[in-house]
Amino acid sequence: GAGVSQTPSNKVTEKGKYVELRCDPISGHTALYWYRQSLGQGPEFLIYFQGTGAADDSGLPNDRFFAVRPEGSVSTLKIQRTERGDSAVYLCASSLGTRSSYNEQFFGPGTRLTVL
């Protein structure tokens, strides 16, 4: 079956530009997560959606970062006025979202963002 997909796979932009990164979760998964991974580090949590609403956005580094999930499926991570420090792999994951001990997160391949 189809897994989590992310587009684009690579994005190169210039400092100060606006970018959008898209995530298509597994069908039926109500929970969606965004993470950011810098070289040599583990993924860092950014934001978590349960349905259409952001249940936890405590990981967003500043107000240049924003994410939406208007219909409870596809999500878009938006970065304004990009900075070189935003360069990283942006990972999306989805899960069934049930409040049980087992709630495996399925990750996409990531979008590699490079800010020149």
Partner 1 sequence: DAKTTQPPSMDCAEGRAANLPCNHSTISGNEYVYWYRQIHSQGPQYIIHGLKNNETNEMASLIITEDRKSSTLILPHATLRDTAVYYCIVIYNTDKLIFGTGTRLQVFP
Residues that bind partner 1 (CB under 8 A): 4, 31, 33, 35, 40-45, 48, 55-56, 59, 91, 93, 95, 99, 101-110
> Rounded CA gap, 22 and 67, in Å?
10
Spatial CB neighbours of 102, under 8 Å, sequence gap ≥ 6: none
Output helix, strand, coil percentages for the chain, rounded to the nearest 5: 5, 45, 50
Q: With respect to partner 1, which residue has the nearer C-beta, 76 or 105? A: 105
The least distance separating partner 1 from the CB of residue 15, rounded to whole angstroms, comes to 25
Q: With respect to partner 1, which residue has the nearer C-beta, 66 or 106? A: 106
Q: With respect to partner 1, which residue has the nearer C-beta, 33 or 65? A: 33
Tokens coding 64: 């240049």
